[in-house]
Every structure is written in C-alpha cells, then in structure tokens.
Amino acid sequence: MRKTFLSQNPSVLIFIALLAIFTIAVTLLSEVTGVGLISTSFVKTLGKTLCLSLVAIAMDVVWGYCGILSLGHFAFFGIGGYAIGMWLMYARTEGIVMTSLASQPLPPTPAEISDAIGNQIFGVVGSSEFPLIWAFADNLFVQLLMVVLVPGALALVFGWLAFRSRVTGVYLSILTQAMTLALALYLFQNDSGLRGNNGLSGLQNIPGFEDSSQAKVSIAFFIASAFALGAAYIGFAWIVSGKMGSIVKGIRDNEARVRFLGYHVESYKLFIFTTTAIAAGIAGALYYPQAGIINPGEVAPIASIYLAVWVAIGGRGRLYGAVIGAVFVSLLSSWFTGGGAPNINLGFYTVQWTDWWLVLLGMSFVAVTLYFPKGIGGLFDYLVRKPS
C-alpha cells in the first residue's frame, strides 16, 4: 500500500529526500559537531521554520484541499505550545524550588513545595494557587497527550457545531476567527491560569537536560521538528491522495454534489479539521521550546491569517507549496524586519524595510491573489510536465 502510494506520488519522495539531506547538512554544519558554520541561534530559526512549515501543511490540507479557510489553525498551534509549555515551566520551576528548599533544615512537605512552585510561576499575576488546568502539569506524559487532545477536542467540538449547522465559506472563516479571538482574549486574562499577558517563559530550558548545551538541545529539537514535518508530510500526502483526497477535493469544489453521492460531508470536514488541528498542536509543541516564550499575542487572529498568507503565496492545493510559502515568507520576514535588508535611499526619503516590509507583504499578497493564484508552487507546473 505504502509502496504504491509513494510510487504514485514522486513529489513526496523528493520532498522527504530533500528534507533528509537538509537535516543532515544542518546537523553536520552546526556547533554540535564542532564545525559551527551554522550558529545555534540560526539552528533554532531553522527548527522553528520547520514547525511553521508543518502547521502550513495542515493549513493547506484544510484550506487548499478541503476548502475550509480556517482562521484558527494558529490558535491550535498556540494551544499545543501552551500544553507543553506548562510542563516545561512546571518541571523547571520544581527543579529550582527543590534545590532552594533542600538547603533548609527541615525537609519540605508537599504543600510547601507546591506553594513555592505556585509562587514562582503565578507571582506575576498576583497568585500562588495552582489553577485546575495545571492539575497534570507535573506529568510529561499527560501534557504530551494534551498537546494532541486539547486542540483535537476543541476542533472536534467547534467543527461539529459549525459543520452541522452548514456554516460554510466566509461565514465559517469569520466564525473560526471569532473562536481564535475568544481564545486569545481568554488567555490575555490574568485569571486564565496561564499567566495572562506574561505567557509562559523560559521554555528553552529543558528539565533533565540542564547540563546539555543549548547547541545540543537546539539540534535535538531541529531534528525532531524535521521528523515531525516528514511524518506529517507523508501522512497528509497519503490522506489527500487516493479516494479520501478525491472526496475532500470534491467537498471543496462542490459540497452538495458530494452529499448527493451519499457521503456524509460533515464527517469528512470534521475529520480533516480535527487531524489538521492536531498536527498544528504538535507543531506548536515543537516550536515553542525553541522559541523559549509563548504569550497570548501569538494566538491572536492575525497570526492565523498570516498562516493563510503563507499557504497562498506558496501555492495552495499542493503540500510542498505550503512548505515553500512558510519557509519563504517567514525567513524573508525575519530578514526584512531584522534589519538584514538594505534600506533604499530615494534622496528625499529613505525606505526603511523595518517600516515598509508589511506594506510590501500586503501588496505582494494582493498581487499573488490576483495574478498568481497558484502561488510560488505554481512555477513547478511549468518545470514538470504533469503526469496524467
């Protein structure tokens, strides 16, 4: 089965091969092997870009293939980050607290430990109580499960509600945007139990690996991200090829027709919406330990719209297009906003790219929508003759 699937989709093989070569090359050139051509911070940037590519693939499946323009998939990404961030922050704080309590003459009681940890984590929002949602924060396994379950459950409930009442098209987009806004507003609250505005921080310090250098940790996460991206690429390519792909694309192009063929369209949409949400959550869980900090701003609706922008620029309806879009736009964006791009002196005015990058992005996005609806990925159609 897998064999025929791969042989029918050569682009998957090519992608996986390129990804493997890239991963090995980066690892060999990183500081871990002593070569050090690629700095640790750039390894982190690359690792994060891989995670963004992963969530972009998910977005492409749900939008490019299934036609649901979700403006909420970055929220699922954020939830994944929060779920793993809770454990990272708890476990690390626990370590620090235990060290400081160990120097005291009396061994600490469980309540004292919990109070001390709570104080450390929630002091910034004026509390030391552990909210209910932190009940399993000490358990890595449960939190890893949360990375999958919380975005999955949220997508399942939201999708079930929305799809069963036949909310489609722009209405659905607005509804997903509203959901994202509600989530962001909730997280902004101090009594959300997730440190409000402050978010979760210090996530780059992995408990149990305090002695390992950041160079090693970041390479480990980079490789993990590459594996996740590869696995998701194969998985989603498998889903969108074959009969499932036919039906999903059919729903995108003519939902009613698929329904009259006897398919329960809502179940298919729900399946796609939920699996992509889970993928987004996993991507987030890999991204934020590399970013080091997560705050509610990351979840805001605008982030999800940017996600759609990446996919559109990269070329939707083809998975590698989503990857190209995410890599291209996010790296370009950090090049422009990070001051890497040279300013243009017009004599009477100097164009500073830190100020003008968003204008350029916005306008080029309009241009892509108008003139290159297939995005960058569409260029491949000219290079490769489509196998029919």
Partner 1 sequence: MSMLLEVNGVSVTFDGFRAINNLSINFAPTELRAIIGPNGAGKTTFMDIVTGKTKPDEGTVVWGERNISLLGMSESQIAREGIGRKFQKPTVFEAQTVRQNLAMALKTPRGPFSVLMHKKTKANGARIEAVAEQIGLADSLTRSAGELSHGQKQWLEIGMLLAQEPRLMLVDEPAAGMTPEEREKTTDILREAAKTRAVVVVEHDMEFVRRLNCKVTVLHEGSVLAEGSLDHVTSNQTVIDVYLGRSHA
Partner 2 sequence: MLRLLSLAVSFWLLLSSIVYAQSLQDILQTHAAEVAKPSRSSVSVVLDDLVASGLPQALPFLEAWRDREIVRRESDGIFFRRLDSSGEVQLQDLDSGDRLAAGTQELQKVRPNGGVRRAIGDALVRFQLSDPDINKRRSAVDSIARSMDASQLGPLQASVAGEADADLKAVKQRLAGMLVATFGETPQDRIEAIKGLSGDLSVDTRAVLNTILAADPAVAKTLPEGANIAKVLTIGEDISVAEAYTRLVAAKLAPARVTKDAIRDALLTHMDGGRVGGVPVAELGTDEMRARAYDQLAQDGTVPVRVSDDAQAKAVAAHKFYLEYTENDAAITDAARLALNGIETSVALSQTVDLGLDALSLASIYFLAAIGLAITFGVMGVINMAHGEFIMMGAYTGYVVQQFVPDYTVSIIVALPLAFAITFAAGVAMERLVIRHLYHRPLETLLATFGISIALQQLAKNIFGTQARPLTSPEWLDGALVFNDVIAISYIRIAIFVLALLFLMVILFVLKRTRLGLEVRAVTQNPGMAASMGINPDRINMMTFGLGSGIAGIAGVAIGLYAKVTSEMGADYIVQSFMTVVVGGVGNVWGTLAGASLIGFLQKGIEWLNPSNTLAAQTYMILFIILFIQFRPKGIVALKGRAAAD
Chain residues 216-245 in contact with partner 1, contact rule CB under 8 A: 239, 242-244
The one-letter amino acid code at 23 reads T
Q: How far apart are CA 60 and CA 78, in angstroms?
A: 18
Chain residues 88-117 in contact with partner 2, contact rule CB under 8 A: 105-111
Among 179, 226, 270, 272, binds partner 2 (CB under 8 A): 179
Which partner in partner 2, partner 1, none is near 41 (CB below 5 to 8 A by kind)?
Answer: none
Which partner in partner 1, partner 2, none is near 267 (CB below 5 to 8 A by kind)?
Answer: partner 1
Number of residues written out for the chain: 388
C-beta closer to partner 2: residue 141 or 371? 371
C-beta closer to partner 1: residue 279 or 361? 279
To partner 1, the closest distance from the beta carbon of 252 in angstroms equals 8
Per-position b or e across 252-277, b if 16+ CB within 10 A of its CB:
beebeebeeeeeebbebbbbbbbbbb
To partner 2, the closest distance from the beta carbon of 133 in angstroms equals 15
Helix then strand then coil, % of the chain, to nearest 5: 75, 5, 25
To partner 1, the closest distance from the beta carbon of 7 in angstroms equals 13
**Residues 6+ positions from 1 with CB-CB distance below 8 Å:** none
Query: Tokens at residue 16, please?
Result: 């996986």
Strand, helix or coil for residue 257: helix
To partner 2, the closest distance from the beta carbon of 356 in angstroms equals 7
| Residue 181 touching partner 2 (CB under 8 A) | yes
Among 302, 332, 341, 379, binds partner 2 (CB under 8 A): 302
DSSP state letter for 376: G
Choose the binding region for partner 2 from 73-81, 117-125, 184-192, 258-266 (rule: CB under 8 A): 184-192
Q: How far apart are CA 325 and CA 263, in angstroms?
A: 32
Which partner in partner 2, partner 1, none is near 223 (CB below 5 to 8 A by kind)?
Answer: none
The one-letter amino acid code at 169 reads G
From residue 42 to residue 81, what is the string marking binding to partner 2 with x (rule CB under 8 A)? ---------------------x---x-x------------
Q: How far apart are CA 75 and CA 68, in angstroms?
A: 16
Beta strands in the chain (DSSP E): 200-201, 293-294, 344-345, 350-351
Q: How far apart are CA 130 and CA 117, in angstroms?
A: 9
Strand, helix or coil for residue 352: coil
Query: Tokens at residue 203, please?
Result: 């996530």
| Residue 361 touching partner 2 (CB under 8 A) | yes
Q: How far apart are CA 103 and CA 126, in angstroms?
A: 26
Which partner in partner 2, partner 1, none is near 261 (CB below 5 to 8 A by kind)?
Answer: partner 1
Which partner in partner 1, partner 2, none is near 359 (CB below 5 to 8 A by kind)?
Answer: partner 2
Among 18, 182, 264, 350, binds partner 1 (CB under 8 A): 264
Query: Tokens at residue 261, please?
Result: 């063929």
Choose the binding region for partner 2 from 39-47, 91-99, 136-144, 305-313 (rule: CB under 8 A): 305-313
| Residue 132 touching partner 2 (CB under 8 A) | no
Among 17, 24, 161, 344, binds partner 2 (CB under 8 A): 161
Instruction: Look up tokens 């759609």; give the residue.
Output: 308
Which partner in partner 2, partner 1, none is near 69 (CB below 5 to 8 A by kind)?
Answer: partner 2
Among 191, 213, 335, 350, binds partner 2 (CB under 8 A): 191
Among 256, 346, 370, 383, binds partner 1 (CB under 8 A): 256
Strand, helix or coil for residue 39: coil
Tell me the DSSP string of 177-236: HHHHHHHHHHHHSGGGSS-GGG-EE-TTS-TT-TTS-HHHHHHHHHHHHHHHHHHHHHHH
Tally Cβ neighbours within 10 Å of residue 360: 14
Q: Residue numbers of the site for partner 1 (CB under 8 A)?
A: 1, 239, 242-244, 246-247, 249-250, 253-254, 256-265, 267-268, 271, 388
Q: Residue numbers of the site for partner 2 (CB under 8 A)?
A: 63, 67, 69, 105-111, 158, 161-162, 164-167, 169-171, 173-175, 177-179, 181-182, 185-186, 188-189, 191, 301-302, 305, 308-309, 312, 355-359, 361-366, 369-370, 373
